[in-house]
């Protein structure tokens, strides 16, 4: 029994971890997810020309985490869709965001103060999903650390990890980048989070699950609300990563001179077109939005 | 007990629904499926250079519905291939269509009256598959309406829904379109059919399964035989859709003026290359065939 | 009881088939797999910029066979990752090959005599995996011949069969070719091997499993060591295939004159860009390596 449980904070954390996510927090998750779908170039046009494809994309955005986790664990990827009420709620959110007369619903939910509340609520759901994913995988594979971490990660990242294929459904194909090669903040945070939750589940991290959920959720809320409000893309992990990664993973110029490898065939010099820019999808969309804002003025 | 069951029509429908599909109707399904594979540009050349890849494509065309349904429901995608007789029958059809001396088999089965019979028999199998898919999903998820509809849909549509990846196997990649973005008639009809069968399974539609199978099959046979005989691509659903869709899903010019969104980032203006043409794969192949016919004269 | 079992060869084969593959042979498998990953253009750069993506690619290379077999059989694709020791061993091999100071580990393992030993040991693991795959599928589907052959094949071929998607993870997309359209030697040998093991499992081939493992492994070792040492890509199957395939699968010029099909729509003339060259991925990398060797001189 950890010390923190005797403090009121422990009770707050326990109450927080026991909050039901359906329907309020889930609705916020769906709203933010479908908003990001609407921001994608061509999404509104697709909703008019191919409403079914638009709906399916929205379902991938809302339930991608469950689909991916089920795929990993060999369960039915469509299993979560047996929750009719969740699917109908997500469908209603999609319909209102894309087809509400005068675009009223969209204007309401994208009003910045409202949007920030929904963004915060989405992070509550995200962290819960990571914890549930690690817990579920632990139940199936008691000592499968990598399985637990992978399941928690896909539950937290959701549709982002299948972005290439979600884009393919919309008729867009960008193979030069993907969410694993260039991680956006939510994906990277989910990765670090799943490691923490796995360490907690396997008793290597001496903290209760409720406390970890509470603190990690607070961290995610602060970061995401700040990043959304300021349109910033600076990763809070960058300072630590810039210290550790050069030590662990070296740099291109050290230790692997290209000419030494020619005889043994290490074709590691970049002989194909320059690598994709380091910008993540968020940064690219941000640039597009700013240019359109300037154009409209 | 519905009224129609007391009529001889009910007995006819019941006998029709009980007809065994193996081996005759299944053979017709395989013949039409492999014929459509042969029509694809480069398919004959691939059969000479990479016969194994050609055989695998043919198996995807013949058994794609089972593979997709099993993938959705978390069952072994390769499970249906344990039916050795079906696989060997499909293999024999593939071999005869691609490699029969003097191309005799192909000439026989593509003789229009014969082809129309096979097309009609294929529709019998398609509708049976939709019904079986909905039934199987209902058995696993008693109240999973969306699961039932999805399973019936993929059983009816078959390889069309994985066309991008079936093309990839042949070394062709066309990401700008897919069967969900631009639905061909069989895919759309399977979608509507699976909704009907799900409503019937959940007792919302007061009709027996046998009657629904009979009537929907007759509808599909009439449409497909007419479309194949006349090389027409006019969808029988178009009149109804053109009434309902503008009401439900609006149009690009109404209610979502682009300039209102610039400040909030709805990048829905098409900022990337023009959307793909609305032609489905069937129409593109039709155009190619007509041009080649003219060239040969 | 076959005659060969009374000879010492039978005992040798039995002892050979009972050799534990973990950790020595598995380590060799991981070393050769990650070496081939390092040879890919851009792989070293990716390891510096996106170490996590590099690690994930290495895991696909090391465990691709298990992932594919589990996908086919409807089991959890991530199931094998519950073997923490295997995953940590593969991770250590990846780290040493990509990040060892002065590139020492890479220089040691790619020293040709060492590399040939590892290549031979990798073939031991490959053949064991084929046998285990056929055995496992036989356990699930007693008479599913095609299922057994498919499972053995993917166990033997491993990541090669998902090369398009492994490349996609690295930001590379080459849809014009794939391992099924243009089979490399290991993939083709695994295909022939899985047929032999399936025939043995179903008692159509009168040889014990241990003897078949022994003889097929010797064949694979001889071929792969020779091909690696001489940088040759001549397939040992070519003489037999060049006799049988023209008989079974004809040639482009015989029996299917293009103009006969124009009226019925067989668009089999190549109307899209010329087909991909017949070179497999191995041959393309070989050419790249030789050009770089010349450049360095």
- Please spell the DSSP secondary structure of chain A, one letter per residue: --GGGGSHHHHHHHHHHHS--TTHHHHHHHHHHHHHHHHSTTHHHHHHH-HHHHHHHHHHHHHHHHHHHHHHTTS-TTGGGG-HHHHHHHHHHHHHHHH-GGGHHHHHHTSHHHHHHHHHHHHHHHHHHHHHHHHHHHHH-TT-HHHHHHHHHHHHHGGGGGHHHHHHHTT---TT--TTTS--HHHHHHHHHHHHHHHHHTTSS-S-HHHHHHHHHHHHHHHHHHHHHHT----TTHHHHHHHHHHHH--TTSS--GGGGTTTT---S--SSPPPPS--HHHHHHHHHHHHHHHH-
Chain C residues whose CB is inside 8 A of the B42 CB are 268, 270-272, 275
Residues A51 and B183: their CA atoms lie apart, in Å, by: 11
CB contact under 8 A, A264 and C77: no
Average pLDDT, chain B: 87
**Distance from C115 to chain B by nearest Cα, in Å?**
32
Average pLDDT, chain A: 87
Residues C90 and C61: their CA atoms lie apart, in Å, by: 10
**Distance from B194 to chain C by nearest Cα, in Å?**
25
Other CB atoms within a 10 A radius of the CB of residue B3 amount to 8
Using CB atoms, which residue from B106, B171, B293 is nearest to C177? B171
Q: What is the mean pLDDT of residues C48-55?
A: 97
**Distance from A172 to chain C by nearest Cα, in Å?**
14
Residues A85 and A23: their CA atoms lie apart, in Å, by: 9
| Position A278 pLDDT exceeds 80 | no
Using CB atoms, which residue from C144, C249, C261 is nearest to B81? C144
| Position C289 pLDDT exceeds 70 | no
Chain A residues whose CB is inside 8 A of the B136 CB are none
Using CB atoms, which residue from C175, C263, C270 is nearest to B293? C263
**Distance from C152 to chain B by nearest Cα, in Å?**
13
Q: What is the mean pLDDT of residues A221-229?
A: 97
Please choose, from the candidates B224, B218, B222, B225, the residue with its C-alpha nearest in 3D space to the C-alpha of residue B17: B218
Interface residue A77 vs chain C (CB under 8 A): no
Q: How many residues does chain B have?
A: 297
Which DSSP letter does residue B274 get?
Answer: P
Mutation target among C68, C256, C273, C278 for the B interface, most CBs of B within 10 A: C256
For chain C positions 56-75, those within 8 Å of chain A (CB to CB) are 56, 70, 74-75
Interface residue C293 vs chain A (CB under 8 A): yes
> What region, left, alpha or beta, does residue A68 occupy, with left being phi > 0 and alpha being psi -120 to 50 degrees?
alpha
Q: Which residue of C has its CA nearest to A176?
A: C171
The answer to whether A69 and A149 are in contact (CB under 8 A) is no
The three-state DSSP-derived secondary structure of chain C is: CCHHHHCHHHHHHHHHHHCCCCCHHHHHHHHHHHHHHHHCCCHHHHHHHCHHHHHHHHHHHHHHHHHHHHHHCCCCCCHHHHCHHHHHHHHHHHHHHHHCHHHHHHHHHCCHHHHHHHHHHHHHHHHHHHHHHHHHHHHHCCCCHHHHHHHHHHHHHHHHHHHHHHHHHCCCCCCCCCCCCCCCHHHHHHHHHHHHHHHHHCCCCCCCHHHHHHHHHHHHHHHHHHHHHHCCCCCCCHHHHHHHHHHHHCCCCCCCCHHHHCCCCCCCCCCCCCCCCCCCHHHHHHHHHHHHHHHHC
pLDDT at position A172, please? 97
| Position B165 pLDDT exceeds 70 | yes
pLDDT at position C8, please? 85
pLDDT at position A2, please? 53
% of chain B at pLDDT higher than 70: 82
Taking only the tens place, the pLDDT of each residue in C179-210 is: 999 999 999 999 999 999 999 999 999 999 99
Taking only the tens place, the pLDDT of each residue in B199-247 is: 999 999 999 999 999 999 999 999 999 999 999 988 999 999 999 999 9
Residues A165 and A169: their CA atoms lie apart, in Å, by: 6
**CA distances to A160, C65, C118 from C12, in Å:** 52, 27, 21
Using CB atoms, which residue from C143, C251, C270 is nearest to B84? C143
**CA distances to A35, A104, A106, A114, A283 from A111, in Å:** 12, 11, 8, 5, 21
Taking only the tens place, the pLDDT of each residue in B76-112 is: 999 999 999 999 999 999 999 999 999 999 999 999 9
CA within 13 Å, CB half, B78: 22
pLDDT band at C6 (very low <50, low <70, confident <90, very high): low
Residues A9 and A109: their CA atoms lie apart, in Å, by: 32
| Position C13 pLDDT exceeds 60 | yes
Interface residue C174 vs chain B (CB under 8 A): no
pLDDT at position A233, please? 86
Taking only the tens place, the pLDDT of each residue in C147-169 is: 999 999 999 999 999 999 999 99
**Distance from B146 to chain C by nearest Cα, in Å?**
21
pLDDT at position A182, please? 96
Which DSSP letter does residue B116 get?
Answer: H
Residues C246 and B49: their CA atoms lie apart, in Å, by: 10
Taken in order C164, C168, C170, C171, the sign of the CA dihedral is: positive
pLDDT at position C9, please? 85
Residues whose CB is less than 8 angstroms from the CB of residue B93 and which lie 6 or more positions away in sequence, other chains included: B27, B30, B31, B34, B58, B62
Q: How many residues does chain A have?
A: 297
| Position B289 pLDDT exceeds 70 | no
| Position A240 pLDDT exceeds 50 | yes
pLDDT at position B8, please? 85
% of chain C at pLDDT higher than 90: 78
CB under 8 Å, gap of 24 or more: what pairs does C242-250 form?
A: C245/B51, C248/B51, C248/B99, C249/B47, C249/B48, C249/B51, C249/B99, C250/B48, C250/B99
Average pLDDT, chain C: 87
The dihedrals phi and psi of A235, each to the nearest 5 degrees, come to -80, 130
CB contact under 8 A, A250 and C44: no
First-residue to last-residue Cα distance in chain B: 60
CA within 13 Å, CB half, B8: 0
Residues C8 and C6: their CA atoms lie apart, in Å, by: 7
| Position A274 pLDDT exceeds 70 | no
pLDDT at position C250, please? 82
| Position A297 pLDDT exceeds 60 | no
Chain C residues whose CB is inside 8 A of the A75 CB are 76
**Distance from B68 to chain A by nearest Cα, in Å?**
11
Chain A residues whose CB is inside 8 A of the B71 CB are 77
Tokens of C290: 């030789």
The pTM of the whole model exceeds 0.90: no
% of chain A at pLDDT higher than 70: 82
Other CB atoms within a 10 A radius of the CB of residue C279 amount to 15
Please choose, from the candidates C84, C68, C87, C88, the residue with its C-alpha nearest in 3D space to the C-alpha of residue C76: C68
Q: What is the mean pLDDT of residues A36-44?
A: 97
Q: How many residues does chain C have?
A: 297
Lowest-confidence region among A263-272, B43-52, B130-139, C276-285: A263-272
Using CB atoms, which residue from B74, B264, B269 is nearest to A79? B74
Interface residue B270 vs chain A (CB under 8 A): yes
CB contact under 8 A, C180 and B82: no
CA C242: distance to chain centroid? 22
Find chains touching chain C: ≥3 CB pairs under 8 Å.
A, B
Please choose, from the candidates C175, C258, A71, the residue with its C-alpha nearest in 3D space to the C-alpha of residue B171: C175
The answer to whether B244 and A52 are in contact (CB under 8 A) is no
Tokens of C262: 């124009």
The three-state DSSP-derived secondary structure of A61-129 is: HHHHHHHHHHHHCCCCCCHHHHCHHHHHHHHHHHHHHHHCHHHHHHHHHCCHHHHHHHHHHHHHHHHHH
Interface residue A228 vs chain B (CB under 8 A): no
Q: Which comes out higher in pLDDT, residue A95 or B267? A: A95
| Position A284 pLDDT exceeds 60 | no
Taking only the tens place, the pLDDT of each residue in B6-47 is: 568 889 999 998 889 989 999 999 999 999 999 999 999 999
What burial class does residue B240 get, using C-beta atoms within 10 Å of its C-beta: 0-12 exposed, 13-18 middle, 19+ buried? exposed
Residues A201 and A206: their CA atoms lie apart, in Å, by: 10
Taking only the tens place, the pLDDT of each residue in A106-146 is: 999 999 999 999 999 999 999 999 999 999 999 999 999 99
Residues whose CB is less than 8 angstroms from the CB of residue C84 and which lie 6 or more positions away in sequence, other chains included: A143, A144, A145, A146
CB contact under 8 A, B146 and A38: no
Q: Which comes out higher in pLDDT, residue C3 or C123? A: C123
Query: ipTM of this model?
Result: 0.85
- Does residue B194 sit in helix, strand or coil? helix
For chain C positions 149-168, those within 8 Å of chain A (CB to CB) are 168
Taking only the tens place, the pLDDT of each residue in A244-266 is: 999 999 864 444 444 344 344 44
Interface residue C46 vs chain A (CB under 8 A): yes
The answer to whether B43 and B152 are in contact (CB under 8 A) is no
Chain C residues whose CB is inside 8 A of the B101 CB are 255
Using CB atoms, which residue from A171, A288, A293 is nearest to B177? A171
Residues B83 and B129: their CA atoms lie apart, in Å, by: 16
Q: Is the peptide bond before A23 cis (omega within 30 degrees of 0)?
A: yes
pLDDT at position B265, please? 40
Other CB atoms within a 10 A radius of the CB of residue C15 amount to 11
Interface residue A230 vs chain B (CB under 8 A): no
CB contact under 8 A, B262 and A74: no
The rounded radius of gyration (Å) of the Cα atoms in chain C is: 21
The answer to whether A212 and A14 are in contact (CB under 8 A) is no
Residues whose CB is less than 8 angstroms from the CB of residue B273 and which lie 6 or more positions away in sequence, other chains included: none
For chain A positions 186-225, those within 8 Å of chain B (CB to CB) are none
| Position A5 pLDDT exceeds 60 | no
pLDDT at position C233, please? 86
Q: How many CB pairs under 8 A join A and B?
A: 132
């Amino acid at each position: 029994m950890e010390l923190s449980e005797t403090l009121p904070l422990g009770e707050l954390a326990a109450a927080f971890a026991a909050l039901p996510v359906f329907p309020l927090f889930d609705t916020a998750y769906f709203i933010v997810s479908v908003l990001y779908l609407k921001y994608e170039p061509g999404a509104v046009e697709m909703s008019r020309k191919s409403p079914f494809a638009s709906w399916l994309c929205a379902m991938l955005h809302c339930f991608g985490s469950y689909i991916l986790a089920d795929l990993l664990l060999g369960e039915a990827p469509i299993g979560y869709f047996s929750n009719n009420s969740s699917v109908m709620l997500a469908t209603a959110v999609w319909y209102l965001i894309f087809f509400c007369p005068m675009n009223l619903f969209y204007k309401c939910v994208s009003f910045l103060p409202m949007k920030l509340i929904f963004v915060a609520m989405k992070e509550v759901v995200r962290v819960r999903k990571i914890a549930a994913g690690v817990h579920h995988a632990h139940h199936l594979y008691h000592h499968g650390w990598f399985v637990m971490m992978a399941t928690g990660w896909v539950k937290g990242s959701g549709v982002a990890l299948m972005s290439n294929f979600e884009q393919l459904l919309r008729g867009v194909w960008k193979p030069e980048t993907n969410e694993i090669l260039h991680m956006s903040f939510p994906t990277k945070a989910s990765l670090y989070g799943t490691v923490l939750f796995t360490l907690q589940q396997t008793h290597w991290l001496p903290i209760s699950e409720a406390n970890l959920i509470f603190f990690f959720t607070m961290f995610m809320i602060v970061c995401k609300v700040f990043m959304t409000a300021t349109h910033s893309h600076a990763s809070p992990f960058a300072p630590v990563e810039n210290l550790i990664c050069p030590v662990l993973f070296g740099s291109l110029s050290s230790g692997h001179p290209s000419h030494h490898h020619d005889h043994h065939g290490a074709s590691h010099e970049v002989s194909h077109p320059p690598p994709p820019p380091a910008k993540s999808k968020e940064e690219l969309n941000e640039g597009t939005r700013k240019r359109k804002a300037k154009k409209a003025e």
